[in-house]
Structure 1
């Protein structure tokens, strides 16, 4: 399974946009998507930016890697500028961004829980070592 940064790179490839142009348009550095940096996470603001600029991307696919890359079984929506002129679609995008943020929060809560468990185990091991 790919990580979120790999999926972001897949968006650029799918849209046939040069990676440097793609990341410049998002206000991001391509360097954060190469090498060891590729294995780090993305903050929620970045996810919102990507989904705002590319509303045809399926947020569930982007965040957790499930489903298809594009909404509506791969069919592309019209350009984002046209969408913003239609109030009904804007509301749909807003709900999508809220759903995407809820997925990010849920994922972060799971990570925090896992890290808390690891911390408890490490503290226990440290105490055992101190007692020897």
Structure 2
């Protein structure tokens, strides 16, 4: 995975934007000072909720998926960022998981279709080779 496009790198970018140390940021959300360094792929719902509570300006969709802007925009219109801000982090994670499940199902369907195509082509290749072999045998006899 591209090191610049990870949850860890985005969280580090947000901490840098806040102009605070990672240790101080970790303290404000109630985790150990090495929490950011320990992030492998993503963060758990309880940590996302703690971050969202402490830093409501952070766009959680950007943090988790890298979509949109780092900061949520506030204006009088009902924007997607504002709508997402009103969703609990656990609900957002649920929606992200549902999106991932749908994408997985779509990809599995494509894979199954490709496998059927491969099996069909393999059968056709066997038949063609058998016919070629039979024709070569007839030519050798004659």
TM-score (norm 2): 0.53
Query: Is 2:22–2:36's contact at 8 Å kept on the other side of the alignment?
Result: no
For the pair 1:102 / 2:91, whether they are aligned, the reply is yes
Stretches of structure 2 lacking an aligned partner (at least 5 in a row): 76-81, 109-142
Highest RCO, 1 vs 2 (Cα 8 Å, sep ≥ 6): 1
How big is the shift at 1:94? 9.7
SS state of the match for residue 24, structure 2?
helix
RMSD value, Cα? 3.0
1:41 and 1:60 mapped to 2: Cα distance?
Answer: 12
For the pair 1:57 / 2:58, whether they are aligned, the reply is yes
Which residue among 11, 14, 24 is the counterpart of 2:14? Answer: 11
Aligned length: 94
1:60 and 1:40 mapped to 2: Cα distance?
Answer: 15
